[in-house]
Structure 1
Amino acid sequence: MDNDSIKTLYAKHIDIMQARAKEAIEREGIEGLIIHSGQLHYQFLDDNPYPFKVNPHFKSWLPVVDNPNSWLIIDGENKPKLVFYLPVDFWHKVPEVPDAFWVPFFDIHYLKKANKVEQCLPYDLSKYAYLGEHLEVAKALGMHLLNPDRVLHYLHYHRAYKTDYELYCMRKANSIAVKAHKVAKQSFFSGLSEYEINQEYLGVAKQSENDMPYGNIVALNENASILHYMLLNKAPPSTHRSFLIDAGASYHGYAADITRTYSMEDNRFQELIVAVDSLTEYLVSQVTPGKEYLSLHEAACGGIAKILSEFGVVNLLPDDIVEQGIVSTFFPHGIGHMLGLQVHDVAGHVADDTGTAKPAPSAHPFLRCMRTIEARQVFTVEPGIYFIDSLLTELKGSENSKYINWNTVDAFKPFGGIRIEDNVIVHSEHTENMTRELWEESLS
């Protein structure tokens, strides 16, 4: 896509953002929003900062993700004012004067010293709401309306409906991640360590660990049973049996979140991977407007139960496995989550834009979304089957232990687990599995 096409998409994006901001401002009865990009956090008793992560409210307006001490002043009508931090500094790399497709849409003021920002802000700050994490900074500047609920509920709820510009960015993020995933797969079959595989992934993605939307999960063998495994062993195991990689990429501040699982040999575990992969594709086909996301999770539980029965892990019919509550031992997380500016995007547990709570049910406490599925929403779909020691120990001590074929469980345990995760855009007439479509496109 050329620069003019991106600029056209972005112009429409800004129009939508302005309309949302205006409604939020009117609901709160104020004059505008002041959005802080954030500032550096320093390590305790040290002068080295932690990696900077920009305020998602800031990057929802423009793709500046690496410049702390910047500010936006928004009123929903006039051209947004950007206070862009551009210090004089011989210790660190100073940002370039911006010259990108988004620049014409902002009234840009350059800030040399972070502590002089009040000179760029409105005179009467009592009529503005601060959106950001540094409340002490906002208070010191004289702001008292800090992250007001009415504003946040409205903006968070409507962030679920992606603009064409945002969908473009998310497809680009998926494209980057797909290429890196393919190299990671090759690295596994070449016998590399977790650390080495991750380095290969980052190299192909051309992104640092801080650029990644989350810490990559690169797990060999039993480590694949740890849902958020982050250790990255530097030495390869004596035997490569299985490989689970949950890794994404970023583009203009938007995230991809993809998971794949592989077996070194064509064995029973490989057959289990194929079954979970087929379930993922089926569940993606069920992501349609008007359906409750909870129903997708319930369908996933039924599908996992069917696999557990067919593979002889549980000696019960699928409906009975669900009824006995056994599925959660092998599939302890939710089927997915909303995706966008953040990997686990906001407002999954509300019913409307006033913030009416819609929490996950007690039967599925880890489900991250309870929304009704609608067009322009983006979700992950990620069923899995895991052999987790702590959960298996709990199951073994329960009444349900008698239904488990423990020899089969023991045979699968050295492989850790399986997760297959795709990123899905909901359209009014069809579902776009951007992960699979980009994967297949790269093969042609």
Structure 2
Amino acid sequence: MMAPDLNALYREHLAALSARADAALERGGFDHLVVPAGVLKYQLFDDRDYPFAVNPQFKAWLPVTQAPGSWLVYTPGQKPRLIFLQPHDYWHVVPAAPSGYWVDAFDIDIIRTPAEATALLPTSSARCAVLGDADSAIWPMVPNNPAPVVQYLEYHRAYKTAYEIEMMREATRMGVRAHRAAERAFRAGASEFGIHLAYCQAARQDVVDLPYRNIVALNEHAAVLHYTGLDTLPPKTLRSFLIDAGASYNGYASDITRTYAKEDGPFESLIQAMDRLQRELCNKVTAGTDYRALHLDAHLGIARILREFDLIHVDPEVAVETGVSSAFFPHGLGHGIGLQVHDVAGFAESDSGGTRAKPEGHPYLRLTRDLAPGMVVTIEPGLYFIDMLLEELKDRGLGPSVNWDTVNAFRPYGGIRIEDDVVCTEGAALNLTRTIWEASP
């Protein structure tokens, strides 16, 4: 396959961002968009800094994620300016000078101290939309985060450019490679910590480079939705493995989850049933689909699996209506993804604000918008055996809806989650995760 022309893709991306910024600034009544990359932050009562996390509004414009103290300035009709902090420092690695396919699109100024940015920033802060946190302020350039500007930019960030899709495709390649290494480590009997190390080595990313903390869960730990404990010794009996882990590339994230059984048997069959449902849901990522309806489709599909495997006694429709399905599937179907793992504006009614409500009884859904071409979403149905939620069913008088003997047989396996990153297009859904997974050895 021919390699993509990143120079052409990036210039199209920059044109799209510029058009969005023009509209956002006009709406807010500003002349300039000013975006600090962010600064290093230190632990309380200590001289140790936290890992640097770049401002998403900054990395939307250029693939620079490790340049604290830098600034981006955009003025409609002008070439964007990058004020790049490259300090004289022998204690730490200094950011390399900007290079690559994107640099010709910017006027670039190199500064050696943060204060030098003042002379290069616009002279009137009153005419600037400054997007960042208070710690990034250099007087008089203090972040104001005007709502009309932020709402517009975040709403439209859901629609990915071809360049952004390519960045996410590469992040997915890295994630798939690491997931395969993690499965091999699991099959070899490694501990959660050992599997985590195998993943990081294969991804070629340390913990601070990954888009989120790896969830590496063996056996019952898979019933903890955001389990990050990482036992250093393997369990005496190895039954199941759930891994939710991604990778980062040029500021963009992938987010992938897989579940495995150690041996063939009922739990492996349950995984396969969930995998079939997940694929069906991925294929429904089409233009015009209300993501809330897709979430409810997932509940009905999971309820049918619960009935098929004799985990519940009631009809699937009844399980959804009474909330029985929510005890087994308590989180949302997925979320937007891109510059952030849980991308912004998931509930936005429009680029002027407003909120689209979640379905009643489903408080943890992270996306309520209608899907449209360019959107990238995760599809991650789950089925878990969580003691607290199952006990709540008994407390609500719904205990008879559940076959407790079958539930008890599955409890030691924890649960199942399967997750892909899927692009909504003008036609059929593009499953980034499956496409790359099936093409890789």
Please name the residue that 1:376 is paired with: 374
Q: SS in structure 2 opposite 1:97? A: coil
Conserved? CA contact 1:64–1:252, under 8 Å: yes
Aligned pairs, number: 441
Amino acid at match of 2:38: G
| Corresponding residue to 1:346 among 344, 350, 358 | 344
The unaligned stretches of length 5 or more in structure 2 are none
Rounded Cα–Cα distance in structure 1 between residues aligned with 2:275 and 2:113: 53
Rounded Cα–Cα distance in structure 2 between residues aligned with 1:144 and 1:207: 34
| 1:9-408 map, 5 Å | 9-133=9-133, 135=134, 137-138=136-137, 141-143=139-141, 146-408=144-406
Rounded Cα–Cα distance in structure 1 between residues aligned with 2:436 and 2:136: 43
Conserved? CA contact 1:51–1:210, under 8 Å: yes
Please name the residue that 1:5 is paired with: 5
Rounded Cα–Cα distance in structure 2 between residues aligned with 1:249 and 1:4: 20
Rounded Cα–Cα distance in structure 1 between residues aligned with 2:117 and 2:285: 46
With over 3 angstroms needed to count, the CA separation of the structure-2 counterparts of 1:147 and 1:441, relative to structure 1, is: same
TM-score (norm 2): 0.98
Rounded Cα–Cα distance in structure 2 between residues aligned with 1:105 and 1:2: 24
Rounded Cα–Cα distance in structure 2 between residues aligned with 1:75 and 1:388: 52
- Tell me how far 1:267 sits from its aligned partner: 0.9
Rounded Cα–Cα distance in structure 1 between residues aligned with 2:48 and 2:100: 30
Amino-acid identity (%): 48
Runs of 4 or more, structure 1, over 3 Å off, are: 1-4
Conserved? CA contact 2:223–2:386, under 8 Å: yes
Conserved? CA contact 2:39–2:136, under 8 Å: no
Amino acid at match of 1:48: R
Offset from partner CA, 1:57-88 (integer Å, 9 cap, x none)? 00000010111000001113211110001100
Rounded Cα–Cα distance in structure 2 between residues aligned with 1:248 and 1:9: 24
- Tell me how far 1:358 sits from its aligned partner: 1.2
Offset from partner CA, 1:317-372 (integer Å, 9 cap, x none)? 11111122101100000100001000000011011100121132332111111111
With over 3 angstroms needed to count, the CA separation of the structure-2 counterparts of 1:145 and 1:89, relative to structure 1, is: closer
1:432 aligns with 2:427: no
The unaligned stretches of length 5 or more in structure 1 are none
- Tell me how far 1:221 sits from its aligned partner: 0.3
Q: SS in structure 2 opposite 1:343? A: coil
Conserved? CA contact 1:7–1:102, under 8 Å: yes
TM-score (norm 1): 0.97
Rounded Cα–Cα distance in structure 1 between residues aligned with 2:267 and 2:300: 20
Conserved? CA contact 2:136–2:142, under 8 Å: no
